[in-house]
Structure 1
Amino acid sequence: MRYVVIGAGAVGCSIGGKLHESGHEVVLVARGAQATALRADGLRLITPQGTLHLDIPVATGPDEVDLRPDDVLVLTTKTQDSAAALRAWSPRPVAGATAGQVLPVVTAQNGVANERMALRHFRQVQAVCLMLPATYLTPGEVIATAAPYTGMLTIGRYPHGHDDTTEAIAADLEKANLPAPVVPRVMRWKYAKLLANLANAIDAVTGGPVPALRDLAVAEGREVLAVAGIDCATEEEFVQLRGGMVVSQDMPGAGGSSSWQSVVRGTGVETDYLNGEIVALGRLHGIETPVNEALLVAVHESVRTGRSPGGLTAAELAARIGR
């Protein structure tokens, strides 16, 4: 199978780079300065084990890729860009049909909204619970900080179950040293990852972790999911799944969460689909969510005003929440 990675940022380049290194065909789809740098000098993928210099084919959009029946589309954009990407790629011709009719799309993304969006455009949706810490701040360069493995991609067909395609993708990821457990109910793992990602807003605003605020945000999120009747893996299950295989290392140039990186780069932040998911569910089920709502508002302020991480202190953020 050939892997077409749509959204070649931190996650996309890490997955695409490891697949390419292990001998699989890969196309990276990137835009702007990232596409220019990847085409000119290739991908520089920095890991705790060393630096890889990878010459991988690059496209800037669907018009530059002749899709094949053996292609797998791997969506690694931020959630706010998913709908546009899905609309652009699903009608592309493939062997007398369209990509949406015959090709699988893999949602290797944070949040829980991408899969339902993808199902509107693609018959085959493979969902991934992503554990892959990586930094993309410089065009052409990605720092993937985890060891002993670059990442873990827990995978299952959406909305539930798994099939031959799931197994084949998982086998290719395993060959690329990206552990890919196949699970029957992948979304319960993605909801657990959603809870973990609620802390992204904190370091995007304050510049670093604030464990007390993180615990409040996660407790609030878990309460909302319970009242909404959403099945979610426990924190203990989540830790057991990782099993020490994906442990982030201190590396020069590595930054904070994906939201922190988006604020630093001055690009769109996916907080609406992380903390905003908890806020929306709370409103649907009549539950107040002051912690996640305050985090959502604070991140929007940072993006709107150009405020850097650390521009609002942990104490100021806590005062807004009233805790």
Structure 2
Amino acid sequence: MRYIIIGAGAVGGSVGGRLAQAGHEVVLVARGTHLAALDEHGLRLRVPEGELTYRLAAVDGPGPLGELRADDVLVLAVKTQDTVSALQTWAQVPVAGGGSAAEQLPLVCLQNGVESGRLALRRFRQVYGVCVWLPSAFLEPGVVSAAGSPLTGVLHLGRLPHGTDDTARRIAADLSGARFEAPVVPDVARWQYAKLLANLGNALEAVSGPLDNEAAQALYARVRAEGEAVLDAAGIVYTSAEEQRAARGDKITLVPLDGAPRGGGSSWQSLTRGTGTIEADYLNGEIALLGRLHGVPTPLNELLQDLANRLASEHRAAGSMPVGELVRRAEEAEEAARRAG
């Protein structure tokens, strides 16, 4: 199978690089200065064993590829806010032998949250979800870092909306030979919703910096509790912390990488790169949506969603709001919600 990585950033670049290292054919889809750097220097993948360089085909869209191949796997690794545009770009591309990509090819959603899978199912017949546990960073054009060892990541994989099939098992086998653990599960959404709860801290980290102090950790605990209350009210099942620990164990240990400070998670990286957008609408915003649908107040997640979007649109620096100020605003938001209720 040939893997077309649509969005060769932190996660997509790490998976694409490791698949190439394992001998698989990989095409990277990127844009702007990142695409120019991939063309000129190749993909520079910084991992615990050193910096590896892969000269891979790099394109800005399907045009240079012509017809897609019947053995292609489309790996969607853009941020969720870019999903609709990517689906529109790739869905109707013809496939050798007949039909379109949406009709003939598997689409793997290698993304945070749960919304991209729903969006993809509107266009594509074969959609696969992934619960992504992959510490990685993309801050410099052409350079991706993945600090995990001995495994680069753990990627639970399953067909959406539920189930497994031979295609999922073949993809998982390729990932398993490329320094990932890739369990095939019939209930991948259960893992994705658990990861969504963990990702509720992404906006907090982006707004006020690392969650390495008591005030930030206490606020994250309240944000997560709000998310759990919403999922419980909605009847959405998610894996427990114990099940997640049993699945990951000590399989991923972060190793300091020369010249590649981790810095922060995906939302922190979006602000640091000055992209102008952030995925908070599909993380904290997912909790806000479910809260409105099921009558559960979500003032903390709404606050983080709003602040993250403001910082992104104003091109503010990651961590620019002191955590004390954020805690004050959170308490005001909670008090306003209590009065309204």
What is the TM-score normalised by the length of structure 2? 0.93
Instruction: Identify the match of residue 129 of structure 1 among 109, 128, 131.
Output: 131
CA deviations over 1:6-47 (Å, ceiling 9, x no partner): 001111110000000000000000101010000100011001
Range with bigger deviation, 118-127 or 293-302: 293-302
2:270 aligns with: 262
1:43 aligns with: 43
Q: Aligned to 1:53, what secondary structure does the other structure show? A: strand
Instruction: Identify the match of residue 278 of structure 1 among 287, 290, 315.
Output: 287
1:167 aligns with: 169
Instruction: Identify the match of residue 261 of structure 2 among 245, 253, 264.
Output: 253
Query: Take 2:262 and 2:40, find their aligned partners in 1: how far apart are those partners?
Result: 23
For residue 62 of structure 1, what is the amino acid of its counterpart? P
1:98-137 equivalences in 2 (<5 Å): 98-137=100-139
CA deviations over 1:106-140 (Å, ceiling 9, x no partner): 00000100111111111000111001111101001
Query: Aligned-pair distance for 1:295?
Result: 0.9
Query: Take 1:198 and 1:249, find their aligned partners in 2: how far apart are those partners?
Result: 24
1:145-294 equivalences in 2 (<5 Å): 145-209=147-211, 210-251=216-257, 252-267=260-275, 268-294=277-303
Q: How many residues align?
A: 323
Distance 1:315 1:250, change over 3 A: farther
Pairing 1:74–2:83 present? no
For residue 211 of structure 1, what is the amino acid of its counterpart? Q
Do the aligned residues in 2 keep the contact of 1:2 with 1:72 (CA within 8 Å)? yes
Q: Aligned to 2:180, what secondary structure does the other structure show? A: coil
Do the aligned residues in 2 keep the contact of 1:131 with 1:246 (CA within 8 Å)? no
Instruction: Identify the match of residue 143 of structure 2 among 141, 144, 149.
Output: 141
Query: Take 2:303 and 2:13, find their aligned partners in 1: how far apart are those partners?
Result: 32
Query: Aligned-pair distance for 1:244?
Result: 1.5
Query: Take 1:247 and 1:161, find their aligned partners in 2: how far apart are those partners?
Result: 30
For residue 291 of structure 1, what is the amino acid of its counterpart? L
Q: Aligned to 1:28, what secondary structure does the other structure show? A: strand
Do the aligned residues in 2 keep the contact of 1:147 with 1:247 (CA within 8 Å)? yes
Q: Aligned to 1:97, what secondary structure does the other structure show? A: coil
Overall identity of the aligned pairs, in %: 51
Task: Give the ranges of 4+ consecutive aligned residues of structure 1 lying more than 6 Å apart after TM superposition.
Answer: none
What is the TM-score normalised by the length of structure 1? 0.98
Q: Aligned to 1:128, what secondary structure does the other structure show? A: strand
Query: Take 2:208 and 2:256, find their aligned partners in 1: how far apart are those partners?
Result: 20
